[in-house]
Amino acid sequence: MNEMKETPHIKPNGAEIAETILLPGDPLRAKFIAETYLENAQQFNSVRNMFGYTGTYKGKKISVMGTGMGMPSMSLYSWELIHIFGVKNLIRIGTCGAIQDHMNLYDLVLAMGASTDSRYVHQYNLPGEFANIASFELLDKAKKAADQKGLPVHVGNILTSDIFYNADPTALEKWQKMGILSVEMETAGLYLNAAYAGVNALTILTVSDHILRREQTTPEERQTAFTNMMEVALELA
């Protein structure tokens, strides 16, 4: 039972963590989801204000917790959730910057794969290059849920980058030519942790910025307005 376990970063104090968890980067988005969608939500974490909650959605138990920004933060929390608390299905719900012309603000992106400029994979000492890919089971369910809602959704390869302010102004153009849909900073770490542990992971993103067109949403919209993404993710429980 995970209720008696804790780590330096997650202290449930007896509260349960479900086998399926939604992982927004922003802990306030986790709070919004718990208050808006979950029944009988109970908070299981507040360490470093990285809020986590467990409740039910349509009768199924589900958790939600913030992960912070960047692969180190995502990788730390997802590793503990998998190995200490027994989580089996990890669904990142976050924002991204689009780099393809056919994409628009608020479109959904399902990350079938996550290319990266990070060296996180080197710890596994693999004799080649590893492809960071999603769980097909979760990906298939998410695509069907998005289609049923009639939402604009793109499925493909994204970039997980360690760099937000890049000294090379041509870097994204090179990724764009390779068909990369959008850029964010967490998914490759999540997919690697999940692959190594043999559990399921998927990233669902909302386009919050169009980098090429210099369009963007507000911080308030990023925190609470991306309900389509949240509702698609909740259906995966």
Is there a catalytic annotation at residue 117?
Answer: no
Tokens of 232: 């698609």
Number of H helices and number of E strands within the chain? 7, 10
Q: Which of 26, 162, 168, 209 is catalytic?
A: 209
CA 162 distance to own-chain centroid: 15
Looking at the DSSP bridge assignments, the partners of residue 56 are 39, 61
Helix (H, G, I), strand (E, B) or coil at 58: coil
Buried b (16+ CB within 10 A) or exposed e, 106-135: bbbbbbbbbbbebebbeeeeeeeeeebbbb
How many C-beta neighbours within 10 Å does residue 216 have?
Answer: 15
Residue positions annotated with a catalytic role: 209
